[in-house]
Structure 1
Amino acid sequence: MAKHKGPTTLHMDPALVRYNNMWINRHKHFRWTPRSAWLTLVYCVLVPIPLGIAGYMTDGKWNMRGKRKGDLISEY
């Protein structure tokens, strides 16, 4: 494909350029605060543990394969 060789006519919005630079360099300015520590704890520990327990407790209780109208999905 042909490439335009002249100066670009697209002018970048300065606010979008600053936002993009902030997004790219976010890891350089990250700081552990009580809020960031709490959110990390919640999303890495307190959410997966109940989901794992619920999945383990309901494992094998329902069988959705090969059921017809009127058949029960519970195995117990």
Structure 2
Amino acid sequence: MAGPSKSLVLDPALQKYYELNANRYKYWRWTPRHAMISFVYMGLIPGVLGYVAYKYEGQFEFRGKRRGDSIAEW
């Protein structure tokens, strides 16, 4: 009763999608668009974040006031 069904019909569009997804590396090529996206995500964004972190390093105090701290330093 709860075994595999012999009347199961698979959707051909989903089967084609699964096959394409499994073999994506065979069809992928470098194009100017892929190169630009790769440069932005692997070079530009980390570079900008690193520059901002280096520029503002140590300029802000993020520790909040704790019990026992004097109010004079605030």
TM-score (norm 1): 0.65
Picking from 7, 14, 18, the partner of 2:16 is 18
Provide the alpha-carbon RMSD of the alignment: 2.6
- Aligned positions of 1:59-70 closer than 5 A: 59-67=57-65
Q: Distance in 2 between matches of 1:12 and 1:60?
A: 59
User: Could you say which structure has the higher helix fraction?
Assistant: 2
Runs of 4+ in 1 over 6 A off after TM superposition: none
Structure 1: gaps of 5 or more residues: none
Count of residue correspondences: 68
CA-CA distance at 1:47 after TM superposition: 1.4
Q: Distance in 1 between matches of 2:45 and 2:18?
A: 30
Structure 2: gaps of 5 or more residues: none
Q: Secondary structure at the match of 2:9?
A: coil
TM-score (norm 2): 0.66
Letter paired with 1:33? T
Q: Deviations over 1:30-56 (max 9, x none)?
A: 111111111111111111111110111
